Structure 1
């Protein structure tokens, strides 16, 4: 990945990863900041600068380690080694939560963060599953930091439960030969290729994602398929029908016999809409006031009757073509 500048907390250079990043990006300007959460020149930037802000890399120390209970694939959502992303998915919920702060932030204190995960796992009455990729795409981050091999192998030897993370990228080669002991659940996010090209900007193509998921299953990882977010563009039934056709044709037996499915419908917000309107004026309009309704705090989601239609369509098609893969939830 290419960046045009690095913004860093001075204390980050006291860590091994901070020094490695300093050496890796030695040819870029390094701009000192007080706190990775507050960079005034970025948060004050106009909306149309959003793509430019994505070219900045932020290096800091994660100081907050609050775990959020979760009852889907994992028991806990865990803040981990990065936040934000270099890609520009037009629906990204980090834009909603952090306004323009969805640029990539790397946190160099990975040992401290994994120590806490292992401690919580050890103290729990039963093994726990920790979602470590809810704030970033760790597979994309790994191309810079090599954090995943460290994390997966250390947890495989010291942890009782599981780690899990989703991705929209196909760069899985560094993970295939790791000693993971089946303790890392790999989940690939998919959408119709038309949506990937026009809305999930800067992410891997669908066919490459399918190949990566097959490779991870072949390497012995537990795997899941995340159809998310489901977006109701015109001809959505055709697009998602063709997606399921392609998945049925190209997923390996190891995926279809052992994997599971998650489905998440798109939630959108006035913040995302404002930024996209200014930064991507020619992009697809995702806010559809006819099919969406307010869900509090400036967020919009599909009306209940439309959600029921989507769920019925997807369940029927998946039950026919990927019937061996259980649907864990639709949300």
Structure 2
């Protein structure tokens, strides 16, 4: 592989799982009037009874949040103390073909966690708290009609051999969203009755309340994993890697299909040895029932100039490993912006080496795709 130069050392793991109270101490709820008046909106208000209510015209354009450059200094505090209620006006399922066959209409946007590589805040400005979409009944109705139009899945693909897979958490983390409202529980219940489709979401937060939702195999949870050293530096406010691995068997036993999401893979000095250690932790920590149905996706890190500049204002140490111009090239995003990713030869070598490592250390693990 093309040499990956050393960079700033990553600190050893001393992570402690954040509690729901630490993640969400909501003091302000910014709400569209229609969302505020809805049953789901009222449920959210009941969960945070002491919050101030501020009515806004648009959940997407709140000048005090998204247009305020001063919020860079309050990046994590805004995620902790602010919440937005809105109505999802455009309902559409987008073709995907990687993690899922379709990307479902979002039930939320933004996150209380603060992963320094997250692509969602690239488009939202200077703050990225959770926005809850309260018209969950319309989202579920749209998905039921969309699933019916697809009919049975007659040809297997990398997403699933028999079911249409819908990613319900592209712009948020459903495990954290479930702390705010019953949107996630309602979607899991809806997919339980869909014999030709599955819900799917990736998560970095272990929410054991989800174990009681009885998904009956119709929801796939993809636990996002990376070496603990990388996670401690980059996965701010998330559950420690050891906790995520420890939850795998419990989620399988509760009726979830459980896959792994190796994302993002960060190329740095010693990265491959740390991934070998992680695979050993998974081998030792997960049981045979999980391994019999397991699959994984591999996604090498993609970064963004605008997010790089935001991170420099609140977490500059992360940029020592994320922003590596000597290893990276420009890439046009699907939305038309410019991102940076590893150069083609460096990325290809990284994917190859990680695939070979998985074959050697975890031969039971099917790689659904890697890029």
For normalisation by structure 1, the TM-score amounts to 0.95
- In the alignment, the residues of structure 1 paired with residue 107 and residue 201 of structure 2 have an alpha-carbon distance, to the nearest angstrom, of 12
How big is the shift at 1:150? 2.1
What RMSD, in angstroms, separates the aligned Cα atoms of the two structures? 1.6
1:227 aligned onto 2:250: no
Match of 2:51 among 19, 24, 28: 28
Shift of 1:98: 2.7
Cα 1:32–1:77 shift into 2, 3 Å: same
Q: How many Å separate the matches in 1 of 2:43 and 2:211?
A: 24
> Which secondary structure state, in structure 2, belongs to the residue aligned with residue 71 of structure 1?
coil
Q: 1:187 to 1:63 in 2, by over 3 A?
A: same
For residues 6 and 159 of structure 1, the distance between their equivalents in structure 2, rounded to whole angstroms, comes to 38
- The alpha carbon displacement at 1:159 in A equals 5.3
Q: Which residue of 95, 99, 110 maps to 1:84? A: 110
For each residue in 1:117-172, what CA deviation from the matched residue of structure 2 results, as whole angstroms up to 9, or x when unmatched? 1110011132422111111000111012133222212221255311111101111x
Structure 1 gap segments, 5+ residues each: none
- When residues 218 and 321 of structure 1 are mapped into structure 2, their CA distance, relative to the original with a 3 A threshold, is farther
Question: Who is 2:179 aligned against?
Answer: 143
Residues 1:52 and 2:52 aligned together: no
Structure 1 match to 2:249: 214
Give the C-alpha shift of residue 210 in structure 1: 0.8
CA contact (8 A) 1:33 1:39 kept: yes
Q: Give, in whole Å, the separation in 2 of the partners of 1:14 and 1:175.
A: 27
Q: Which residue of 1 aligns with 2:130?
A: 104
Matched with 1:262 is 297
- Report 1:94-173 matches (<5 A): 94-127=120-153, 128-158=164-194, 160-171=196-207, 173=208
Cα distance in 1 for partners of 2:221, 2:317 equals 34
On the 8 A contact 2:66/2:128 being kept in 1, the answer is no
Give secondary structure in 2 for the equivalent of 1:57.
strand
Higher relative contact order (CA 8 A, sep 6+): 2
2:28–2:54 contact (8 Å) kept in structure 1: yes
Closer, same or farther in 2 for the Cα pair 1:158/1:257, shift >3 Å? closer
Could you say what secondary structure the match of 1:35 adopts? coil
Aligned with 2:215: secondary structure?
coil
TM-score between both structures, scaled by the size of structure 2: 0.85
Find the residue that maps to 1:174 and give its secondary structure: helix
Gaps of 5+ in 2: 1-23, 154-163
Q: 2:349 aligns with which of 285, 293, 309?
A: 309
The CA distance in 1 between the partners of 2:300 and 2:53, in whole Å, is: 39
2:42 is aligned with 1:16:
no
CA contact (8 A) 1:79 1:135 kept: no
Contact 2:194–2:218 (8 Å) recurs in 1: no
Partner residue, 1:280: 315
Moved more, 260-269 or 297-306: 297-306
* Preserved CA contact (<8 Å) 2:214 2:254: no
Instruction: State yes or no: 1:6 paired with 2:29.
Output: yes
User: How far apart are 1:53 and its partner, in Å?
Assistant: 2.7
Q: How many residues align?
A: 330
Give 1:284 shift: 4.2
Instruction: Pick which of 124-133 and 183-192 moved more.
Output: 124-133
Shift of the 265–14 alpha-carbon distance from structure 1 to 2, 3 Å rule, reads: same
